[in-house]
Amino acid sequence: MLLIIGTIRLPPDRLEQAKPVMQSMVLASRAEPGCLGYSYAQDVLEAGLIHVSEAWSDRVALETHFKSAHIAEWRASWAELCIGDRKLTLYETDGGAPT
């Protein structure tokens, strides 16, 4: 299993404009084969800080996600939404199997 965990930032005054775009991205991503979880969450203490959490079954599913139309649309919206300071890390896990 692959996990992507991190944050993105946008100006707090762009959050309402960004919500429908983020919602579309989350819903489309969750519908993809191999997507085990996908979410964005607004930080409760820091306006404009969005926590990102993704779980993918394997690298093929993740690579397919990166080539999807909805991720292209999401990336195209970044300039208008002033999304920046992306800090995302990819982790490879054993899926939580007991050791």
Q: Is 34 domain-assigned?
A: yes
- What is the pLDDT tens value at each position of the chain, 99 positions in all? 999 999 999 999 999 999 999 999 999 999 999 999 999 999 999 999 999 999 999 999 999 999 999 999 999 999 999 998 999 999 999 876 665
Domain count, the chain: 1
Indicate the pTM of the whole model. 0.89
Question: In this structure, are residues 89 and 3 in contact, taking their beta carbons and an 8 Å threshold?
Answer: no
In DSSP notation, 48-95 reads TEEEEEEEESSHHHHHHHHTSHHHHHHHHHHHHHT-EEEEEEEEE--T
Question: 40 forms bridges with which residues in the sheet?
Answer: 52
CATH code at 12?
Answer: 3.30.70.100
Q: Is 97 domain-assigned?
A: no
- Tokens 């085990």 correspond to 36
pLDDT of residue 70: 95
